[in-house]
Amino acid sequence: MADDFGLSRRNLLAAGAAFSGAIGLGGSGAGAASPPGPKVPADTGAVQGERVMFPNWRGAGDRPPAPIPAPQPPGTRVGYCVVGLGRLSLEEILPAFAETKRARLAAVMSGSPDKARLVARQYGLPESAVYGYGDWERLKADPAVQAVYVVTPNAVHRDNVLAAAGAGKHVLCEKPMAAHSAEAREMIAACEAAHVRLMIAYRCQYEPFNREVARITRAGEFGRPRLVQAFNGQTTGLPEQWRLRRALAGGGALPDIGLYCLNGVRALLGEEPAQVTAQVFSPPDDGKFAEVEESVSFTLTFPSGVIAQCMTSYGVHESRRLTVHSAGAEIDLENAFAYRGQRLSVTHRSGKAVSRDERLLTPKNQFALEMDHFARCIQEGLRPRTPGEEGLQDQVLMEAIYEAARIGAPVKVGPPAGAGSGLDVTRGPEPEEAG
Protein backbone atom coordinates (compact mmCIF):
# COMPACT_ATOMS: atom_id res chain seq x y z
CA MET A 1 0.00 0.00 0.00
CA ALA A 2 2.82 2.38 0.81
CA ASP A 3 4.22 2.11 -2.70
CA ASP A 4 0.78 2.91 -4.19
CA PHE A 5 0.93 6.34 -2.61
CA GLY A 6 4.65 6.90 -3.20
CA LEU A 7 5.37 6.67 0.54
CA SER A 8 8.24 4.23 0.64
CA ARG A 9 10.49 4.39 3.69
CA ARG A 10 13.15 6.16 1.64
CA ASN A 11 10.65 8.80 0.49
CA LEU A 12 9.33 9.28 4.00
CA LEU A 13 12.82 9.93 5.36
CA ALA A 14 13.61 12.30 2.51
CA ALA A 15 10.36 14.14 3.08
CA GLY A 16 11.12 14.36 6.79
CA ALA A 17 14.55 15.79 6.10
CA ALA A 18 13.12 18.40 3.76
CA PHE A 19 10.43 19.29 6.29
CA SER A 20 13.08 19.64 9.02
CA GLY A 21 15.02 22.11 6.93
CA ALA A 22 11.88 24.04 6.03
CA ILE A 23 10.92 24.66 9.67
CA GLY A 24 14.45 25.00 11.06
CA LEU A 25 14.82 21.70 12.92
CA GLY A 26 18.43 21.26 11.89
CA GLY A 27 19.54 21.29 15.51
CA SER A 28 17.70 24.47 16.49
CA GLY A 29 14.47 23.03 17.83
CA ALA A 30 13.09 24.07 21.21
CA GLY A 31 15.67 23.63 23.91
CA ALA A 32 18.32 22.28 21.55
CA ALA A 33 21.77 23.55 20.78
CA SER A 34 22.74 23.51 17.11
CA PRO A 35 25.52 21.07 16.29
CA PRO A 36 28.51 22.60 14.51
CA GLY A 37 28.45 22.99 10.75
CA PRO A 38 25.45 22.93 8.43
CA LYS A 39 21.96 21.95 9.51
CA VAL A 40 21.51 18.25 10.16
CA PRO A 41 18.48 16.31 8.87
CA ALA A 42 16.17 15.36 11.70
CA ASP A 43 15.96 11.60 11.18
CA THR A 44 18.80 10.58 8.90
CA GLY A 45 21.52 12.60 10.60
CA ALA A 46 24.77 13.59 8.95
CA VAL A 47 28.46 12.78 9.19
CA GLN A 48 30.50 15.50 10.90
CA GLY A 49 34.14 14.61 11.35
CA GLU A 50 34.29 11.08 12.74
CA ARG A 51 30.79 11.13 14.23
CA VAL A 52 27.23 10.78 12.99
CA MET A 53 25.26 13.75 14.33
CA PHE A 54 21.54 14.10 14.94
CA PRO A 55 19.69 17.23 16.10
CA ASN A 56 17.92 17.19 19.44
CA TRP A 57 14.41 15.92 18.71
CA ARG A 58 13.14 16.47 22.24
CA GLY A 59 11.32 19.50 23.55
CA ALA A 60 12.64 22.01 26.05
CA GLY A 61 11.09 20.13 28.98
CA ASP A 62 13.16 16.98 28.46
CA ARG A 63 16.85 16.31 28.92
CA PRO A 64 18.66 16.27 25.55
CA PRO A 65 19.80 12.81 24.42
CA ALA A 66 23.45 11.82 24.72
CA PRO A 67 25.61 12.02 21.59
CA ILE A 68 25.60 9.03 19.29
CA PRO A 69 28.51 6.71 20.24
CA ALA A 70 31.55 7.16 18.02
CA PRO A 71 33.78 4.12 18.55
CA GLN A 72 37.08 3.93 16.76
CA PRO A 73 37.54 1.08 14.26
CA PRO A 74 39.06 -1.95 16.00
CA GLY A 75 42.30 -1.71 14.05
CA THR A 76 43.02 1.81 15.30
CA ARG A 77 42.28 1.19 18.98
CA VAL A 78 44.97 0.75 21.63
CA GLY A 79 45.57 -2.94 22.26
CA TYR A 80 45.76 -3.96 25.93
CA CYS A 81 47.26 -7.02 27.56
CA VAL A 82 45.51 -7.66 30.88
CA VAL A 83 48.08 -8.94 33.37
CA GLY A 84 46.45 -11.10 36.03
CA LEU A 85 43.18 -12.98 35.60
CA GLY A 86 41.68 -12.83 39.07
CA ARG A 87 38.18 -11.82 40.08
CA LEU A 88 38.46 -8.16 39.16
CA SER A 89 39.74 -8.93 35.67
CA LEU A 90 37.17 -11.61 34.92
CA GLU A 91 34.17 -9.97 36.60
CA GLU A 92 34.70 -6.34 35.56
CA ILE A 93 37.66 -5.45 33.37
CA LEU A 94 37.42 -7.95 30.52
CA PRO A 95 33.64 -7.47 30.10
CA ALA A 96 34.20 -3.69 30.08
CA PHE A 97 36.05 -3.90 26.76
CA ALA A 98 32.62 -4.39 25.15
CA GLU A 99 31.86 -0.78 26.13
CA THR A 100 35.17 0.86 25.19
CA LYS A 101 35.56 3.12 22.17
CA ARG A 102 39.34 3.54 21.99
CA ALA A 103 40.63 0.36 23.66
CA ARG A 104 40.52 -3.31 22.74
CA LEU A 105 41.61 -6.54 24.39
CA ALA A 106 44.67 -7.85 22.53
CA ALA A 107 46.24 -10.35 24.96
CA VAL A 108 46.11 -11.86 28.45
CA MET A 109 48.87 -12.78 30.89
CA SER A 110 48.46 -15.21 33.77
CA GLY A 111 50.31 -17.72 35.92
CA SER A 112 47.53 -20.24 35.21
CA PRO A 113 47.93 -21.51 31.61
CA ASP A 114 44.64 -23.42 31.51
CA LYS A 115 42.69 -20.41 32.76
CA ALA A 116 44.46 -18.07 30.36
CA ARG A 117 43.76 -20.28 27.35
CA LEU A 118 40.11 -20.61 28.31
CA VAL A 119 39.69 -16.86 28.78
CA ALA A 120 41.44 -16.19 25.48
CA ARG A 121 39.01 -18.48 23.68
CA GLN A 122 36.06 -16.82 25.39
CA TYR A 123 37.17 -13.41 24.15
CA GLY A 124 38.19 -14.48 20.65
CA LEU A 125 41.96 -14.22 21.15
CA PRO A 126 44.37 -16.59 19.41
CA GLU A 127 46.57 -18.83 21.52
CA SER A 128 49.55 -16.70 20.47
CA ALA A 129 47.98 -13.87 22.55
CA VAL A 130 48.27 -15.91 25.76
CA TYR A 131 51.30 -15.05 27.92
CA GLY A 132 52.77 -16.34 31.17
CA TYR A 133 54.45 -14.12 33.74
CA GLY A 134 57.85 -15.03 32.29
CA ASP A 135 56.94 -14.07 28.74
CA TRP A 136 57.74 -10.35 28.79
CA GLU A 137 60.33 -10.64 26.03
CA ARG A 138 57.79 -12.32 23.76
CA LEU A 139 55.20 -9.64 24.67
CA LYS A 140 57.76 -6.97 23.78
CA ALA A 141 57.73 -8.24 20.19
CA ASP A 142 53.92 -8.24 19.92
CA PRO A 143 52.85 -5.21 17.84
CA ALA A 144 49.18 -5.78 18.70
CA VAL A 145 49.84 -4.78 22.33
CA GLN A 146 50.60 -1.12 23.08
CA ALA A 147 49.59 -1.12 26.76
CA VAL A 148 49.28 -3.47 29.72
CA TYR A 149 46.74 -3.31 32.52
CA VAL A 150 48.33 -4.66 35.71
CA VAL A 151 45.71 -6.39 37.90
CA THR A 152 47.90 -8.48 40.21
CA PRO A 153 48.36 -8.35 44.02
CA ASN A 154 49.71 -5.06 45.32
CA ALA A 155 53.20 -6.28 46.19
CA VAL A 156 53.71 -7.56 42.63
CA HIS A 157 52.78 -4.26 40.95
CA ARG A 158 56.34 -2.93 41.07
CA ASP A 159 57.83 -5.94 39.28
CA ASN A 160 55.03 -6.03 36.70
CA VAL A 161 55.34 -2.32 35.92
CA LEU A 162 59.12 -2.46 35.63
CA ALA A 163 58.82 -5.47 33.29
CA ALA A 164 56.19 -3.72 31.17
CA ALA A 165 58.34 -0.60 30.92
CA GLY A 166 61.29 -2.78 29.90
CA ALA A 167 59.09 -4.25 27.18
CA GLY A 168 58.26 -0.75 25.92
CA LYS A 169 54.58 -0.96 26.82
CA HIS A 170 52.51 1.81 28.39
CA VAL A 171 51.14 0.85 31.81
CA LEU A 172 47.75 1.16 33.48
CA CYS A 173 48.20 -0.15 37.04
CA GLU A 174 45.50 -1.02 39.54
CA LYS A 175 45.33 0.77 42.87
CA PRO A 176 46.97 0.86 45.33
CA MET A 177 49.96 1.61 43.17
CA ALA A 178 52.35 -0.48 45.27
CA ALA A 179 52.97 -1.87 48.74
CA HIS A 180 55.27 1.03 49.71
CA SER A 181 56.05 4.55 48.50
CA ALA A 182 59.63 3.54 47.65
CA GLU A 183 58.28 1.05 45.13
CA ALA A 184 56.00 3.70 43.65
CA ARG A 185 58.97 5.97 43.07
CA GLU A 186 60.83 3.15 41.29
CA MET A 187 57.82 2.57 39.04
CA ILE A 188 57.61 6.23 38.04
CA ALA A 189 61.35 6.38 37.33
CA ALA A 190 61.28 3.19 35.25
CA CYS A 191 58.43 4.41 33.06
CA GLU A 192 60.08 7.79 32.57
CA ALA A 193 63.35 6.13 31.57
CA ALA A 194 61.53 3.88 29.10
CA HIS A 195 59.49 6.81 27.71
CA VAL A 196 56.20 5.04 28.38
CA ARG A 197 53.15 6.44 30.14
CA LEU A 198 52.05 5.29 33.58
CA MET A 199 48.49 5.71 34.87
CA ILE A 200 46.93 4.46 38.11
CA ALA A 201 43.43 3.01 37.79
CA TYR A 202 41.46 5.38 40.01
CA ARG A 203 38.20 4.53 38.25
CA CYS A 204 36.06 6.84 40.41
CA GLN A 205 37.84 9.90 39.02
CA TYR A 206 36.37 9.00 35.62
CA GLU A 207 32.89 8.03 36.86
CA PRO A 208 30.16 10.63 36.04
CA PHE A 209 28.56 10.92 39.50
CA ASN A 210 31.86 11.38 41.34
CA ARG A 211 32.89 13.96 38.77
CA GLU A 212 29.60 15.81 39.25
CA VAL A 213 30.09 15.97 43.02
CA ALA A 214 33.53 17.47 42.44
CA ARG A 215 32.12 19.95 39.92
CA ILE A 216 29.35 21.12 42.26
CA THR A 217 31.75 21.39 45.19
CA ARG A 218 34.48 23.27 43.38
CA ALA A 219 32.03 25.60 41.64
CA GLY A 220 30.71 26.70 45.02
CA GLU A 221 27.08 26.32 43.97
CA PHE A 222 26.08 26.01 47.63
CA GLY A 223 28.95 27.79 49.31
CA ARG A 224 32.40 26.70 50.34
CA PRO A 225 32.72 23.09 51.58
CA ARG A 226 33.38 22.84 55.32
CA LEU A 227 33.17 19.14 56.19
CA VAL A 228 33.46 15.97 54.11
CA GLN A 229 32.54 12.44 55.18
CA ALA A 230 33.77 9.41 53.25
CA PHE A 231 32.97 5.81 54.20
CA ASN A 232 33.87 2.56 52.48
CA GLY A 233 33.16 -0.70 54.25
CA GLN A 234 32.36 -4.34 53.65
CA THR A 235 32.63 -7.71 55.33
CA THR A 236 35.51 -10.02 54.47
CA GLY A 237 35.54 -13.81 54.63
CA LEU A 238 37.93 -16.40 53.15
CA PRO A 239 40.87 -15.98 55.54
CA GLU A 240 43.28 -17.45 52.96
CA GLN A 241 42.82 -14.62 50.42
CA TRP A 242 45.89 -12.54 49.56
CA ARG A 243 44.36 -9.26 50.74
CA LEU A 244 44.74 -10.49 54.33
CA ARG A 245 48.49 -11.14 53.91
CA ARG A 246 50.62 -8.10 54.70
CA ALA A 247 53.45 -9.20 52.43
CA LEU A 248 51.14 -9.14 49.40
CA ALA A 249 48.69 -6.39 50.31
CA GLY A 250 50.84 -3.94 52.25
CA GLY A 251 47.99 -3.45 54.72
CA GLY A 252 44.34 -4.28 55.27
CA ALA A 253 41.21 -2.20 54.80
CA LEU A 254 43.15 1.05 54.30
CA PRO A 255 45.03 0.32 51.04
CA ASP A 256 42.28 -1.89 49.64
CA ILE A 257 39.03 0.06 50.17
CA GLY A 258 39.98 2.97 52.45
CA LEU A 259 42.11 4.29 49.61
CA TYR A 260 38.89 5.23 47.82
CA CYS A 261 38.05 7.57 50.69
CA LEU A 262 41.51 9.10 50.72
CA ASN A 263 41.79 9.55 46.97
CA GLY A 264 38.13 10.49 46.62
CA VAL A 265 38.43 13.40 49.05
CA ARG A 266 41.67 14.60 47.46
CA ALA A 267 40.14 14.46 43.98
CA LEU A 268 36.97 16.14 45.18
CA LEU A 269 38.77 19.16 46.64
CA GLY A 270 41.87 19.26 44.47
CA GLU A 271 43.86 20.15 47.61
CA GLU A 272 46.47 18.17 49.47
CA PRO A 273 45.93 17.68 53.23
CA ALA A 274 48.21 19.46 55.69
CA GLN A 275 47.72 17.07 58.62
CA VAL A 276 46.37 13.59 59.39
CA THR A 277 45.21 11.88 62.57
CA ALA A 278 44.14 8.24 62.71
CA GLN A 279 43.06 5.19 64.69
CA VAL A 280 43.48 1.55 63.63
CA PHE A 281 41.60 -1.41 65.12
CA SER A 282 41.56 -5.17 64.62
CA PRO A 283 39.49 -7.58 66.74
CA PRO A 284 41.96 -9.65 68.77
CA ASP A 285 39.81 -12.78 68.55
CA ASP A 286 39.57 -12.87 64.72
CA GLY A 287 42.45 -14.70 63.08
CA LYS A 288 41.72 -13.11 59.69
CA PHE A 289 43.28 -9.90 60.99
CA ALA A 290 46.44 -11.32 62.49
CA GLU A 291 48.56 -9.54 59.84
CA VAL A 292 46.45 -6.62 58.63
CA GLU A 293 43.95 -4.20 60.13
CA GLU A 294 40.19 -4.58 60.05
CA SER A 295 39.16 -0.92 60.52
CA VAL A 296 40.72 2.51 60.15
CA SER A 297 39.36 5.96 60.98
CA PHE A 298 41.38 8.94 59.81
CA THR A 299 40.90 12.69 59.61
CA LEU A 300 42.41 14.94 56.97
CA THR A 301 42.76 18.67 57.59
CA PHE A 302 43.23 20.82 54.51
CA PRO A 303 44.84 24.28 54.12
CA SER A 304 41.47 25.78 53.13
CA GLY A 305 40.01 24.72 56.49
CA VAL A 306 38.03 21.73 55.18
CA ILE A 307 38.02 18.76 57.54
CA ALA A 308 37.44 15.31 56.05
CA GLN A 309 36.44 12.39 58.26
CA CYS A 310 37.14 9.05 56.58
CA MET A 311 36.35 5.55 57.80
CA THR A 312 36.92 2.13 56.30
CA SER A 313 36.38 -1.41 57.55
CA TYR A 314 36.44 -5.07 56.56
CA GLY A 315 33.95 -5.87 59.32
CA VAL A 316 30.74 -3.99 58.52
CA HIS A 317 27.76 -4.31 56.21
CA GLU A 318 28.60 -3.01 52.75
CA SER A 319 28.27 0.76 52.51
CA ARG A 320 30.11 3.25 50.28
CA ARG A 321 29.21 6.91 50.73
CA LEU A 322 30.63 10.38 50.11
CA THR A 323 28.97 13.45 51.66
CA VAL A 324 29.95 17.11 51.37
CA HIS A 325 28.60 19.64 53.88
CA SER A 326 28.53 23.38 53.20
CA ALA A 327 26.50 26.28 54.59
CA GLY A 328 24.06 25.98 51.72
CA ALA A 329 23.60 22.26 51.19
CA GLU A 330 24.38 18.64 51.88
CA ILE A 331 25.66 16.84 48.78
CA ASP A 332 25.33 13.09 49.21
CA LEU A 333 26.58 10.37 46.86
CA GLU A 334 25.28 6.91 47.70
CA ASN A 335 27.34 3.93 46.46
CA ALA A 336 30.07 6.47 45.71
CA PHE A 337 32.88 3.93 45.42
CA ALA A 338 30.88 0.98 44.08
CA TYR A 339 31.15 -0.35 40.54
CA ARG A 340 27.57 0.74 39.83
CA GLY A 341 24.40 2.04 41.50
CA GLN A 342 25.43 5.63 42.29
CA ARG A 343 22.67 8.00 43.46
CA LEU A 344 23.35 11.70 43.92
CA SER A 345 21.13 14.00 45.97
CA VAL A 346 21.44 17.62 47.08
CA THR A 347 19.54 18.84 50.14
CA HIS A 348 19.19 22.63 50.29
CA ARG A 349 16.85 25.47 51.08
CA SER A 350 14.21 26.23 48.46
CA GLY A 351 12.28 29.33 49.48
CA LYS A 352 10.67 28.58 52.85
CA ALA A 353 11.07 24.85 52.36
CA VAL A 354 13.95 22.41 52.36
CA SER A 355 14.30 20.52 49.10
CA ARG A 356 16.04 17.21 48.45
CA ASP A 357 16.83 17.02 44.74
CA GLU A 358 18.09 13.87 43.04
CA ARG A 359 20.46 14.56 40.15
CA LEU A 360 20.02 11.96 37.43
CA LEU A 361 23.02 11.23 35.23
CA THR A 362 23.63 8.52 32.66
CA PRO A 363 25.61 5.72 34.33
CA LYS A 364 28.73 4.62 32.46
CA ASN A 365 31.12 1.72 32.91
CA GLN A 366 33.97 3.05 35.03
CA PHE A 367 36.52 0.55 33.75
CA ALA A 368 35.68 1.34 30.13
CA LEU A 369 36.03 5.07 30.86
CA GLU A 370 39.46 4.74 32.46
CA MET A 371 40.77 2.41 29.75
CA ASP A 372 39.53 4.75 27.02
CA HIS A 373 41.08 7.74 28.79
CA PHE A 374 44.48 6.03 28.94
CA ALA A 375 44.12 4.96 25.31
CA ARG A 376 43.48 8.56 24.33
CA CYS A 377 46.55 9.69 26.29
CA ILE A 378 48.66 7.16 24.37
CA GLN A 379 47.20 8.14 21.01
CA GLU A 380 47.45 11.89 21.54
CA GLY A 381 50.52 12.18 23.75
CA LEU A 382 48.65 13.46 26.83
CA ARG A 383 49.43 13.18 30.52
CA PRO A 384 46.85 10.94 32.23
CA ARG A 385 44.47 12.45 34.75
CA THR A 386 45.75 9.96 37.36
CA PRO A 387 49.47 9.47 36.62
CA GLY A 388 52.01 7.70 38.77
CA GLU A 389 52.47 10.83 40.88
CA GLU A 390 48.84 10.56 41.97
CA GLY A 391 49.40 7.00 43.19
CA LEU A 392 52.66 7.92 44.90
CA GLN A 393 51.00 10.71 46.88
CA ASP A 394 48.39 8.28 48.21
CA GLN A 395 51.13 5.85 49.23
CA VAL A 396 52.89 8.63 51.16
CA LEU A 397 49.64 9.67 52.84
CA MET A 398 48.72 6.09 53.80
CA GLU A 399 52.10 5.71 55.46
CA ALA A 400 51.39 8.94 57.36
CA ILE A 401 47.99 7.58 58.43
CA TYR A 402 49.57 4.40 59.83
CA GLU A 403 52.20 6.51 61.59
CA ALA A 404 49.58 8.84 63.11
CA ALA A 405 47.72 5.80 64.47
CA ARG A 406 50.93 4.29 65.83
CA ILE A 407 52.05 7.37 67.76
CA GLY A 408 48.55 8.61 68.66
CA ALA A 409 49.29 12.13 67.48
CA PRO A 410 48.82 14.27 64.34
CA VAL A 411 51.32 13.89 61.50
CA LYS A 412 52.12 16.82 59.23
CA VAL A 413 51.83 16.16 55.51
CA GLY A 414 51.46 18.29 52.39
CA PRO A 415 51.90 18.36 48.62
CA PRO A 416 54.85 16.52 47.06
CA ALA A 417 58.13 18.41 47.10
CA GLY A 418 58.46 20.59 44.02
CA ALA A 419 54.82 20.10 43.01
CA GLY A 420 54.06 23.79 43.24
CA SER A 421 50.88 25.42 44.49
CA GLY A 422 47.32 25.33 43.25
CA LEU A 423 44.84 22.52 42.72
CA ASP A 424 45.41 19.06 41.27
CA VAL A 425 49.18 19.24 41.55
CA THR A 426 49.53 15.46 41.10
CA ARG A 427 47.01 15.14 38.25
CA GLY A 428 46.87 15.62 34.52
CA PRO A 429 44.14 17.44 32.57
CA GLU A 430 40.46 16.65 33.09
CA PRO A 431 39.34 13.63 31.04
CA GLU A 432 37.21 14.30 28.01
CA GLU A 433 33.47 13.88 28.38
CA ALA A 434 32.49 10.38 27.38
CA GLY A 435 30.33 10.28 24.28
- The SS3 call for residue 54 is coil
Catalytic residue among 80, 202, 206, 260: 260
Contact criterion met (CB below 8 Å) for 404 and 217: no
Helices (H), 199-249: 208-219, 246-249
Catalytic residue among 175, 202, 206, 288: 175
CA angle 359–272–375, rounded 5-degree value: 65
Q: How many whole angstroms from its chain centre is CA 123?
A: 23
Q: How many whole angstroms from its chain centre is CA 204?
A: 4
CB under 8 Å to 106, separation ≥6 — which residues?
A: 79, 80, 81, 125, 129, 142, 144, 145
339 catalytic per annotation: no
CB under 8 Å to 298, separation ≥6 — which residues?
A: 258, 262, 276, 277, 278, 279, 310, 311, 401, 404, 405
412 catalytic per annotation: no
What is the DSSP track for 251-264?
SSHIIIIIHHHHHH
Q: How many whole angstroms from its chain centre is CA 53?
A: 27
- Closest listed residue to residue 268, CA positions, set 192, 201, 336: 336
Active site residues: 175, 260
